[in-house]
Amino acid sequence: MIVLAFLATAGSAPGQPLPHFRQVLFNHQSVNPAYTAIGENRGFFVFLRNQLTGGKPAGYTRMVSIHTPVFNNFIGTGLDILSDRTDTLERFTLFTNYSYELMVSSDLRLRLGGTYGFSSFGQTGSGERNLMGNFGIGAFLYGENGAFSLAIPRLLGTNPGTSDPSDPVTTDQRIFYFGASAFFTLSDAVKIKPSIFYAIPFGLPAGVDLNFMLELKENYRIGLAYRVDGPVGLMAQVRLKNNFRIGIGGNFKSSPGGGKTVTNGDLSLSYDVDIYRRVNRPAFYF
């Protein structure tokens, strides 16, 4: 049964930059709390991005996600820590996640999740910061051949520092995320996962990504992410010993001279371990 999944990322919106290709392709938890500790795994994900071209000061993203089952394989908790900077905004966020899984059928599962935490942000270089709490919700329906994802990770659009709700510095942007993907096995060594992802900021135009992931022998992943009216992202990931994975990637866009310019460079590191080690544990790829 093809049930479908959650994926990559989208264009940018004022006040809160949307997630990056690799950040979400390899770590759905970053925008959907329902994904926390999926697959009965305990582990972490580290994502580093540096801006290579564009405005000054150069932008960056530093992110750490931690996840673990609690009590049993149906309950998960996690922690997301993010520090990033654009040419206009500096931000630090700390959010905790909770997820619970329901069995819909023998090959279909529904996870529900919530997240709560705070954001500290302000204009780049100003030294002034606004602090605000927020919370969000998400749902993740998945099976062996695909998944659907729905999430609003920041439900509050409060504005503590100004009476202007459109201020890009003091507003924590509410964004509705929807993703769908399918998983196909071509052979024992080759699997593919096409996906589509929508990010819809409240009151702003939607961003759309189309993504394609190729997995070879379950040890190598190669991906292409196309953002409609935006850059193209390329990525690769390799699984090392002891369930460690390391990935690299970058965004490319057309330059005025007709060539391609690398705009960002990414590095990721992840680790997962199955702590329950069930013999009949189903194989899911999301």
Separation of alpha carbons 198 and 164, rounded Å: 27
Which pLDDT score, from 0 to 100, does residue 162 have?
43
Listed by start position, the domains of the chain span 21-159+167-274
* Cα–Cα distance, 195 to 8 (Å, whole number): 8
pLDDT at residue 12 in the model: 37
Q: What is the pTM of this model?
A: 0.84
For residues 121 and 92, is the Cβ–Cβ distance under 8 A? yes
User: What pLDDT score does 255 carry?
Assistant: 60
Distance, in Å, from the CA atom of 164 to the CA atom of 202, rounded to the nearest integer, reads: 15
Task: Tell me what pLDDT residue 45 has.
Answer: 93
Beta-carbon contacts of 155 under 8 Å, excluding residues fewer than 6 positions away, are 134, 135, 136, 137, 174
Mean pLDDT by 10 residues, the chain (286 residues): 30 44 72 91 91 76 93 91 84 94 90 95 80 93 92 74 48 82 92 90 81 91 85 89 88 65 84 80 67
Contacts of residue 265, Cβ cutoff 8 Å, sequence gap at least 6: 49, 50, 52, 248, 249, 250
21-159+167-274 placed in CATH 2.40.160.40: yes
Amino acid of residue 152 = I
Query: Where would I find the beta strands (DSSP E) of the chain?
Result: 41-51, 60-70, 72-85, 89-105, 108-123, 130-143, 146-152, 175-182, 184-185, 190-201, 207-216, 220-227, 232-239, 244-254, 260-274
Distance, CA of 188 to CA of 193 (rounded, Å): 15
What local confidence, expressed as pLDDT, does residue 135 receive? 94
